[in-house]
Every structure is written in structure tokens, then in C-alpha cells.
Structure 1
């Protein structure tokens, strides 16, 4: 299809077609779609922050597991303490820098104290909820208990995200 260009001093016709047979619209749109997704995920919108929060949490859990496994020779309580403290400190720093882009607004020590306090509160809430569940439904099966753990952990994670977003960072 020819396109007229009134300001063109020549014939006023663009001889190049709008689409050529060799153009691949799917491939050319993919990098721009990935770029838009990347820009969105780096934004300060709540959903982008939530996605980054979940990713940091997932990597933090992997780090905890690796530390726990590495330190298990010292005993499970020591391994749990080291894994929890180190993975929580790293997660707090990643949340400060990446999840909430707060490195300029919130200092490292403040993030560790407030984020660590929220982690302890989350641990207390989760432990209390599981203990209550054991009293209220003692004969609960393994699958039902696993689902309950997931629901409780998700609720505590949601409260932690909201607290970090609205109060700490």
C-alpha cells in the first residue's frame, strides 16, 4: 500500500510497503512486551512490589535452607537460628533496596530492627496459630494441616508485606 506524503517534493508516494514478507511481528513485539513488563516490575506500584516481595521471600527461603543444611552438624537449633537470622537480614536488605526502593529513605539498621521485629512477630503469630490449630483440630490429617500451614503463612506474609510497605519503607 502506498502512503502519500504531501510535504514530499517528489512524486508524493512512498514506494516501500507497510509490511514486507520477511517481517515477523511476533518477534518484534516480544522484546517490547518484555521491556514493558520489566519496566512495570521495577515500578513502585503495589502489585510490582508484591511480586518483588514474593521473589525475595522465595530466594530468602532457599538461602535459609542452604544455611540450615550447611550448619546442621552443629545441631538443628543452631542451624535454625543461623539460617533464620542470616536469611532474615538479607531479606530485609533486599526489601529495602529492591522491593520498596527505600535505600535512600530508610537506613540499614532501621530496616534490620523494624523488619526483624516484624519477622519475629510473624513467627510468633504463625506458631500461635499452629498451636491453636493443634488444640482445635487435633485429628487433622497431613494434607489438611499442610493446607492450614500454607493459609496461615500466606496471611502472615500478607500482613508483613502491608506492614513493610505502609510502615517501615
Structure 2
């Protein structure tokens, strides 16, 4: 949706709350850095909730396997949401490219959280809340760097690679 098109409530009047609602909606749908960052954070919260759910569910099998599986599941989800929603790159960047390049960046986060869990295991012990807080802190720091790289490299509008190949027609 273009940032200049009015939404339904705005076309019905000029009450201040309607103008604020439509202005915010138009800003959040834009392609400027602040709108992309707001969507990035939203996707990050969603994928983090998925990650923490998988981590806590699989924690009885060990914190490291739970971390790896949670990271893989949440990364695939986040990469697809970033491709389609955060950076509006669904037509420019194919699914596999987004997973490969975005996943490579997420691997840095996986390595960082795995090292943090291993090194700080004696400190956090079996306290699930301390493990989750530790992972959240490391993930937040890595997430900021990830936004910059996703914006400037993976989902940039620059023509650094050809257009995605069209899907084959079903037989």
C-alpha cells in the first residue's frame, strides 16, 4: 500500500484520532528505515516467542539441543516474515535465497547463544528463567546487527543478483 493512500477511517472525516490512526498506519507500511525497524521488531517478538516456546518444550532433552532446534524453527519463520512483511521483498528475493542468506546471519546468533549457554551454565544452572534471560540478552544484541545486514545486504533493493526464477507451472 502506498504511504499516501488514505485508510478507511480517514476518508470518513478528519477527527484527530482518525488522522493519527491513518498516519501511523501509513508510516508503518512505508519502506523507510523506521517503518522497517518497527516491523523487524514485531517479527522479532513473534519469532522469539516461538523460539522460547520450543526451547522450553524441548529443555528436558538438554539446553543445547533445545537451543539449536528453537533457533532453526524461529529463524525459518523470521526469515520468511522479514522477506514478505518487514522488507517487502517477496517479489525481489526468493524463499531459498532469504533462508540461505538470512539463515547465515542467524547462525551468528545461534553460535553466540550456544557459547553463552555453555560458558554460563555454572552460573545459570537449571534456572529456566535465567537461561531465557541470557538468551534474550544475546539475541537482542545480535538482532540489532542482523537488522542492519538484512536491510543493506539480504533484502536491499540493489541489483546484486538476478530476479528470482519463476516457479514451474504444475503439470
**TM-score, normalised via structure 2 length:** 0.64
1:168 and 2:151 are equivalent in the alignment: no
Larger RCO of the pair (alpha carbons < 8 Å, separation 6+): 2
Aligned length in residues:
130
Bigger Cα displacement from structure 2, 68-77 vs 86-95: 68-77
Aligned to 1:28: 15
Aligned to 2:99: 112
Shift of 1:122: 3.4
* Inter-partner Cα distance in structure 2 for 1:127 and 1:77: 7
Do the aligned residues in 1 keep the contact of 2:71 with 2:110 (CA within 8 Å)? no
RMSD: 3.0
* Inter-partner Cα distance in structure 1 for 2:110 and 2:60: 24
- Runs of 4+ aligned structure 1 residues displaced above 4 Å come to 125-128, 152-155
Do the aligned residues in 2 keep the contact of 1:126 with 1:156 (CA within 8 Å)? no
Taking a change above 3 Å as real, the CA distance of residues 126 and 83 of structure 1, as seen in their structure-2 partners, is closer
Shift of 1:62: 0.6
Shift of 1:82: 1.8
**TM-score, normalised via structure 1 length:** 0.65
Question: Unpaired segments of 5 or more residues in structure 1?
Answer: 1-26, 135-145
Question: Unpaired segments of 5 or more residues in structure 2?
Answer: 1-13, 121-132, 156-171
1:53 to 9, 30, 40: 40
* Inter-partner Cα distance in structure 2 for 1:155 and 1:64: 16
1:42 to 5, 24, 29: 29
